[in-house]
A and B are shown apart, each in its own frame.
Chain A
Amino acid sequence: MRRARTLPVPDPHADAFAGKEAFALPGVRPLRVHLLLALVAVLAAVLVGASQGSVDIPFTTVVRILVSKVLGLGSVTWPETWEEIIWQIRLPRVLLAGLVGATLAFSGAAYQGILRNPLADPYLIGVAAGAGLGATIVLVSPLPYAFGTLSLLPPAAFVGAVLAVSISYGLARSGGVAPNVTLILAGVAVSAAATSAMSFLIMANHERVATVLSWLLGGFNTATWQKVGIVLPYSLVGGVAVLASARLLNVLQLDEEEAQQLGVPVERVKLLVIVAASLATAAAVSVSGLIGFVGLIVPHTVRLLWGFDYRRLVPMSMAVGAVFLILADLAARSVLSPSEVPVGVITALCGAPFFLWLLRRHRPACSAGRRAVF
């Protein structure tokens, strides 16, 4: 009876899959080579970072020193001080920069994915302002901020960051859900309150302005193995949690309601990823200060180069973030050697133009038909 009505469903391609095995499964598999290359790039950046500095040590010697320290191979044919410089000063600095870079980058990707907001970065919902306030309190208080080698600064910054994010999330959550817009607004409000408290403390103790400012700008000039040890566990656990959630982050890009109807426990995933990314970022910030731009720019750069699938985005962001911050730190300590430029200045200075160039080059493909129905 409905003869005229069955419009030919466009299906002349019922067999279009035949011989088209190119439609492989998305995910990690096509990426393995790239991941391997990225790992090589990180190792290369570590080597380059460790071989450059105010004391001229030949590259081959640097490699031999590292090989002998790590693998216990080869005989010592270099001055004791060189080994000291490489192992106690440069390597922890380079590794810390890499670790912080990777952490900020994957946290930025995680925040952008969870909040479905391209402007999100790991500092958005309170980490930065909370850490800043915590650090400022320690720096302006009459207490000594270090007991021997144990500095009060990292724990204070860490606690401040975690508290601020918890307050933001707590304020945004009602009836078991924390809507994104509310979460961002709560984060902005909490950040504003913490920042003004920080400003007040700085003005009331203006003799400490320089100390506080130098902490806020961030850097790795005080890097130690101990600081690497502080960040590493948080970065590892946070990174694994975000990697494990990568497929669900893809589904979340649809829409929270659709993701639920596809079987994703949205609020639980959101909480898990926010906790993981915030703890890792808080740990990174507590030892290196507020290094801007990495968490925003690296994930976007990776998106433009490797696509939007979080299973690619998260691991590649880690690698690119690590390489980027190692090289930025290298620039920070070499450009005006022997004095240092704050590394945040370098990240913004190099990152912004590069990002803009990428954006313009890829624009036609990426912005066409952008979310016509929202």
Chain B
Amino acid sequence: MLEIQGIWADYGGAPVLRGVSLDVAAGEVVGLVGPNGSGKTTLVRAVTRVMPLRSGEVRLLGEDVRTLTRAALARRVAVVPQNPALPEGFTVLEMVLMGRTPHLRLLQSEGPSDLAAARRSLTQTGTTALASRFAHQLSGGERQQVVIARALAQEAPVLLLDEPTSHLDVGHQMAVMGLVRRLCQERRLAVLATIHDLTLAALYCDRLVLLDRGAVAAEGSPDSVLRPELIASAYGAEVTVLRHPASGRPVVVPLPPEADSPQAKGGIAALEPAGGGQTAAPRGGPPSGDGRRDGGER
């Protein structure tokens, strides 16, 4: 669905993306993780041609994005932006109907089929009850759901989410990520989501891609990507990776200021350490292997 091959991009200075390649297939949620400034948002912008590519290629359903018109592009890929603008004076229904823009000609107004698409999106995101509310008066969690509904109304097979959970509390984070998973399965979407919270990413994504300074540092199952030495190298942070008691997925825990504080140890002891539960030296120490894992177990 989405194929990115060796793309380079910059903002007029040093390259921000340096030869990134990744694929997302229909029906899978791929998490894009990496420290601040590693190029996650830039990747979303480059894929949607909001900023130009220096080199490399982005294909959507096999077609090069450079050959598509803006509307054709928006019919193939929908974006949930990091800080969605919610101008005053528009209701939720009107906002969601804006998702129909790429399907309308210049002088065309929304018709019954557009309204039907908007209703489906509202229903699937559980925001039907908000339809006549003003979008700028919603809470953070509701906003995120409404913007997801707008992206769904685009009926694009590829969905990009830029930090969909960054302003949300834990309950809304889970609700939004659960929604994304459900939509991915129900609509067979190819989903690429940039996520800050590594534990959340591990729980809800089929695969993870770790970006470090504009390049893919690791790719594969959450288990193979969320390894202390890889995280130390990319984030410059000392962490412990534990195993989630219910799902068996990795849980990334920062080390306390004094790593051997007995209190901290007692608190974590409830979770059993993942595969050796090791910690690693921060950036500088060479990560094991070449730092790149493909495949891994699903």
Contacts and interface: CB of A to CB of B under 8 A. Distances in A.
Given A258-B84, A263-B70, A309 B89 contact: yes
Interface string A333-374: 000000000000000000000000000000000111111111
A309 B90 contact: yes
B131 interface: yes
Contacts of A13: 126, 128-129
Interface residues of A, number: 52
Contact of A261 (B81, B119, B174): B81
Interface of A: 1-7, 9-11, 13-17, 22-23, 25-28, 244-245, 247-248, 250-251, 253-255, 257-258, 260-265, 303, 307-309, 311, 366-374
B55 interface: no
Contacts of B203: 2, 5
Dominant secondary structure of chain A at its interface with chain B? loop
Given A15-B128, A369-B88, A372-B86, 7 more contacts: A13-B126, A14-B126, A254-B86, A255-B85, A260-B70, A262-B101, A371-B85
Choose among A22, A28, A373 the residue with the greatest number of B CB atoms under 10 Å from its CB.
A373
Nearest to B178: A6
A104 to B, nearest CB: 22
B74 A308 contact: no
A1 B246 contact: yes
B5 to A, nearest CB: 21
A10 B106 CA distance: 36
A373 B85 contact: yes
Choose among A7, A15, A371 the residue with the greatest number of B CB atoms under 10 Å from its CB.
A7
19 contacts: A2-B203, A2-B247, A5-B174, A7-B174, A10-B129, A11-B123, A13-B129, A17-B128, A26-B93, A247-B109, A250-B94, A254-B85, A254-B98, A255-B85, A258-B84, A261-B50, A308-B88, A308-B90, A366-B89
B185 interface: no
Nearest to B244: A1
B70 A265 contact: yes
Range for the number of chain B residues in contact with chain A = 35 or more
Nearest to A8: B175
A28 B108 CA distance: 12
B277 to A, nearest CB: 21
A308 B81 contact: no
A374 B83 CA distance: 7
A138 to B, nearest CB: 39
B50 A257 contact: yes
Contact of B71 (A26, A263, A307): A263
Given A1-B246, A263-B73, A308-B90, A369 B136 contact: yes
Contacts of B83: 373-374
A234 B104 CA distance: 27
Contacts, number: 158
Contacts of B197: none
Contact of A14 (B104, B115, B123): B123
Interface of B: 45, 48-50, 69-75, 77-79, 81, 83-91, 93-94, 97-99, 101-102, 104, 106-107, 109-111, 114-115, 119, 122-123, 125-126, 128-129, 131-132, 136-137, 154, 167, 171, 174-175, 178-179, 182, 203, 246-248
- Closest CB pairs A-B (n = 7): A308-B89, A263-B102, A263-B74, A11-B126, A255-B85, A253-B87, A263-B71
A263 B75 contact: yes
B178 A371 contact: no
A203 B135 CA distance: 53
Contacts of A262: 74, 98-99, 101-102, 154
A264 B100 CA distance: 11
Given A9-B178, A261-B74, A369-B137, A255 B81 contact: yes
Contact of B109 (A2, A7, A27, A372): A27
Contacts of B182: 9
Nearest to B138: A369
Contacts of A248: 101, 106
B41 to A, nearest CB: 11
A309 B132 contact: no
A64 B74 CA distance: 57
Nearest to A13: B129
